[in-house]
Amino acid sequence: MAESLHTGTVLDEIIEGVKEDLSLRIERLPLAELKELVLRQAPALDGYAALKQPGLSVIAEVKRRSPSKGELAQITDPAALASSYASGGAAVVSVLTEQRRFSGSLTDLDAVRAAVNIPVLRKDFTVDAYQIWEARAHGADLVLLIVAALSDAELADFLALTEQLGMNALVETHTEEELQRALSLGAKIIGVNVRNLKTLEVDREVFASLAGLLPAGSVLVAESGVRNAEDVAHYASHGATAVLVGEALVSDSTPAQRITEFRAAATHAN
């Protein structure tokens, strides 16, 4: 069984904090009570179908900061930002909820869920089934599962729970080995993150080298490294179904217009 990354990476450090914060939330709201909240939620929207629509889909991110770049944007009104994403044609809105490194919160997720009627991705570092129940309780339709952070058994269990709750999972990979693990466990929405977890450097060619390995019918999401329309066109030309964009949108004064431009650039690339 393949296990998680070697110790000492940025991912390991982030997950350490995630587990500490998670234990506090579990104390405040036990799993049994959390499951009761899930029952009150409307059914999850179909994230897979949203990303499979014709043309390149954009997953637009509500993201205040990152470990690689520090503070990106203040985002005083995440609901308004998410609404502008939707008006620009985003297929999915991604919301960072990790607090320590990304300044995110479940409050942001609640605000975005109330503001848009398209699928919402809870973007966090999932290490416990509690977080998947928690995502659904707050109205998320998709969760992020990072192959590098999970054993095969964990990944299989989390995929099964996600499906059980009517949700979809964006399964993030960085290498061919991680991609094969994801596919062998039945992942349908595969993300290729071109940011190296050890150095935080971006290499867009990683996407090109892995994209051809996916079977037909998969949703392939290019993650990281989208600065402009040219980068979007590059990913689209190598088979991306969708791009996940954070920094380039939150730092732009007209994010809706930028999303429209990104989708047009992908059309011209094909």
Q: Which CATH number is 107's domain given?
A: 3.20.20.70
Separation CA 54–CA 263 (nearest Å): 11
> Is 188 an annotated catalytic residue?
no
pLDDT of res. 70: 73
Contacts of 47 (CB under 8 A, 6+ apart): 92, 119, 121, 141, 142, 167, 168, 170, 189
Q: Which of 63, 94, 178, 247 is catalytic?
A: 63
Domain count, the chain: 1
Q: Give tens-digit pLDDT for 89-146.
A: 999 999 999 999 899 999 999 999 999 999 999 999 999 999 999 999 999 999 999 9
pLDDT of res. 1: 33
In 190-216, which positions are buried (b, 16+ CB within 10 angstroms) versus exposed (e)?
bbbbbbebeeeebebebbbebbeebee
Q: Which of 172, 178, 188, 247 is catalytic?
A: 172
Q: Which of 57, 66, 94, 123 is catalytic?
A: 123
> Is 224 an annotated catalytic residue?
yes
> Is 223 an annotated catalytic residue?
yes
Residue 163 has a CB neighbour count (10 Å cut-off) of: 13
Separation CA 183–CA 191 (nearest Å): 11
> Is 52 an annotated catalytic residue?
no
pLDDT of res. 6: 39
Separation CA 51–CA 142 (nearest Å): 11
Structural domain range at position 184: 3-269
pLDDT, block means (10 residues), the chain with 270 residues: 49 92 96 96 97 95 83 87 96 96 94 98 97 98 96 98 98 96 96 86 90 90 92 94 92 92 82
> Is 193 an annotated catalytic residue?
yes
Q: Which of 134, 154, 178, 223 is catalytic?
A: 223
pLDDT of res. 8: 57
Residue 89 has a CB neighbour count (10 Å cut-off) of: 17
